[in-house]
Amino acid sequence: MWNDEIRIASDGTWYYNGNKMFRMEIVGMLSAHLQYKDDQYYVCWMRQEMPVVVEDVPFVITGVFAHEDGLKARLMDERVIDLPETEVFWQDDIPYLPLFTESRLDTKLSRSAFWQITPYLVEKEGRQWIQHRQG
């Protein structure tokens, strides 16, 4: 039975028993093993499931940049991932993306990351999409 609390704040900061986790290599390892099932997030690692309290979404993009093979996104945990062409959803004037699960909005764009992708936003049928080619 897991009694310790792992929490992800709305700004993407990870906490363990109320203490901020500042070692990004540990946060990155935990977030790489984050899974969503039965309406709950868990870190699934070494045959254990540790529940995670998520205030908003588990992933926050802090930066976006162009690379020769497409757009890249830097996550709060400092990992760099490919940023796919996807729809941008808005909730309370905050942009969200479904990056790690198709059916859930699991990733939020920071204000600076949103401004970095604005040259790549296109409108299709009244919706905003990220498109790798500017234009």
Same domain, 46 and 70: no
Query: Cα separation of 21 and 43, whole Å?
Result: 15
15 with 78, same domain? no
Pairing of strands 87-91, 80-82: unpaired
66 plus 32 within the same structural domain: no
- The answer to whether the CB of 92 falls within 8 A of the CB of 111 is no
How buried is 34 (Cβ within 10 angstroms: 0-12 exposed, 13-18 middle, 19+ buried)?
buried
Two tokens, residue 29: 């390892």
User: In this structure, are 74 and 123 located in the same domain?
Assistant: yes
Structural domain includes residue 70: yes
Give 2-27 pLDDT, tens digit per residue: 678 999 999 999 999 999 999 999 99
Q: What is the pLDDT of residue 133?
A: 74
Residue 6: name the closest of 62, 49, 61, 60 by CA: 49
pTM over 0.85: yes
Instruction: Let me know if residue 1 belongs to a domain.
Output: no
35 and 81 housed in the same domain: no
Range of the domain at 13: 6-54
The count of structural domains within the chain is 2
Per-residue pLDDT of 39-53, as tens digits, reads 899 999 888 899 999
3-state helix, strand, coil in the chain (%, to 5): 15, 45, 40
What lies within 8 Å, CB to CB, of 119 at 6+ separation is: 134
pLDDT in tens, 64-106: 999 998 899 999 988 999 999 999 999 999 999 998 877 678 9
Q: Are residues 64 and 29 in the same domain?
A: no
Question: Residue 14 sits in a domain of what CATH number?
Answer: 3.10.540.10
